[in-house]
Each structure stands twice: as C-alpha cells, then as structure tokens.
C-alpha cells in the first residue's frame, strides 16, 4: 500500500467535504451541512489512522474511536466537538421526528469549530 497516496486520498476528501458543508449551511441545509462536517472530520482522522498504522482505516464512523486508533491527543473541547459531530451524523441518518433541527447560527458555529480542528489536524499530518 502506498501510505502517502492513502493519506492524500483521505485528506483531499476531507477538504472537499468541508466545502460541501459550507455550501449546505449557507443555503440553510443545516443538518445536512453538519453531516458533512462529520464526514470532514471522519476523513481527516482516517488520514491520521493511515499515518499511524500504515493500514487502510477501519470502516467505522465514530470520531472518538478513530482519534484513539490514530493516537491523537486532544483537548477536552476538541473531544467534545467530536462527540457532538457523532450525534449529528446519527441524526442525519436516523432522524427523530420530534427533535428540533439545529439553528443556522448553531450550525455556523459548529462549522467554524470544524474548520479549526480540521486545520489543526491537517497541520499535524
């Protein structure tokens, strides 16, 4: 396996998903945009898994588990963001009909936090 090629694949996918998240949230598609924020973080973490293990990342979506496999230490606020993004990934796949959708301001705030942690993770590659 070409490790650098795999890392680039996951990194580039994360950048593309972040662009999609921005577009969706700017158009008021907040839940969908937050789902793409999750994908952004999932893919950049999978790049780190490849870097750490030199193997194809597992087919899982739990951000905390991917962080653990990659061996990345994070501040509590960063870990909490990963947990919150896991919730939105579940909600996008399995919506609860009575649950309120995230507001646009909340989605924009989470998008900003996603951008910050994404940039931090890219710089650690």
Is a pLDDT exceeding 90 seen at residue 32?
Answer: yes
CB 125 within 8 A of CB 48: yes
How does the average pLDDT of the chain come out, rounded? 95
| Whether domain 3-124 has CATH 3.40.50.970 | no
Reported as a pLDDT band with limits 50, 70 and 90, residue 92 is confident
Q: Model confidence over 34-68: pLDDT tens digits? A: 999 999 999 999 999 999 999 999 999 999 999 99
Is a pLDDT exceeding 70 seen at residue 98?
Answer: no
Q: What is the mean pLDDT of residues 91-117?
A: 89
pLDDT on residue 38: 97
- Percentage of the chain with pLDDT > 90? 87
Reported as a pLDDT band with limits 50, 70 and 90, residue 81 is very high
**Residue 74 Cα distances to 2, 52, 81, 111, 117, angstroms:** 27, 16, 11, 18, 10
The closest of 46, 25, 65 to 121, measured between CA atoms, is 46
SS3 string, 17-78, reads: HHHHHHHHHHCCCHHHHHHHHHHHHHHHHHHHHHHHHCCCCCCCCCHHHHHHHHCCCCCHHH
């Amino acid at each position: 396996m070409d490790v650098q090629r795999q890392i680039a694949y996951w990194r580039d996918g994360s950048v593309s998903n972040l662009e999609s998240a921005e577009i969706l949230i700017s158009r008021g598609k907040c839940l969908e945009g937050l789902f793409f924020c999750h994908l952004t973080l999932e893919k950049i973490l999978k790049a780190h898994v490849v870097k750490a293990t030199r193997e194809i990342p597992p087919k899982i979506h739990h951000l905390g588990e991917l962080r653990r496999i990659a061996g990345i230490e994070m501040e509590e606020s960063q870990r909490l963001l990963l947990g919150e993004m896991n919730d939105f990934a579940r909600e996008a796949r399995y919506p609860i009909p009575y649950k309120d959708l995230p507001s646009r301001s909340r989605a924009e705030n989470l998008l900003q936090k996603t951008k910050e942690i994404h940039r931090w993770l890219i710089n650690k590659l």
